[in-house]
Amino acid sequence: MYLLLKGKLANFQHSLMDYLERRSALIGRFPPGTLLWGARQRYTYFREGATVFLYVSREAGFPGGVVLYGTLQRPEELRERYWLEGDWPLLLPIRVEKLASGVVEAPRNPAAWRPVTLSQLAELGVRPLPSPGQKLPEDKAKALQALL
């Protein structure tokens, strides 16, 4: 199964810095190479082993786009506040396979990142929906992996 998850830049940067620096007690519960993401509720398609892509929405200084792909680890309930914006009681640990160019090199400078853009997604026939996650057909997911 292939999923496109979505979220805000501030929350991704928070998770990214924790992924890189391993500074929180929460990230310490997971092996290195895990990025923490969240959702408001459990959906049947949030399954361990799914390949996930993370789309970060457009904001000033960042065009928006897919910044990573990886494998979803076991989702679990989160009883503490972790992200800067919003409450996300379902923890979605992701074993990162690939980050967009520039993300690791300049984690605090989204203008330097080279995500898969909205126009590139449109060329693949992928339109991010307003929901927190959506299924992707295998052929589109494979094409998206190649772009990242």
More confident site: 61 or 37: 37
pLDDT at 132: 76
pLDDT at 112: 96
**Cα gap 59→43, rounded to integer Å:** 27
pLDDT at 3: 95
Model confidence at 77, in pLDDT bands (50, 70, 90)?
very high
All structural domains of the chain, each given as residue ranges with its CATH number in brackets, are 2-147 (3.10.590.10)
Q: What is the mean pLDDT of the chain?
A: 93
Closest CA to 66 of 107, 98, 40: 98
Q: What is the pLDDT of residues 66-76, one digit of tens each?
A: 999 999 999 99
Q: What is the pLDDT of residues 102-132, one digit of tens each?
A: 999 999 999 999 999 999 999 999 988 877 7
Model confidence at 43, in pLDDT bands (50, 70, 90)?
low
pLDDT at 87: 84
Closest CA to 27 of 87, 71, 91: 91
Task: Please compute the mean of the pLDDT values over residues 44-53 and round it to a whole number.
Answer: 90
pLDDT at 146 over 70: yes
pLDDT at 17: 97
Cβ atoms of 133 and 3 within 8 Å: the answer is yes
Among all chains, which residue has been given the structure tokens 């853009």? 117
Cβ atoms of 93 and 30 within 8 Å: the answer is yes
Among all chains, which residue has been given the structure tokens 């940067």? 13
Kindly state the helix (H) or strand (E) to which residue 9 belongs, with its residue range. helix 9-21
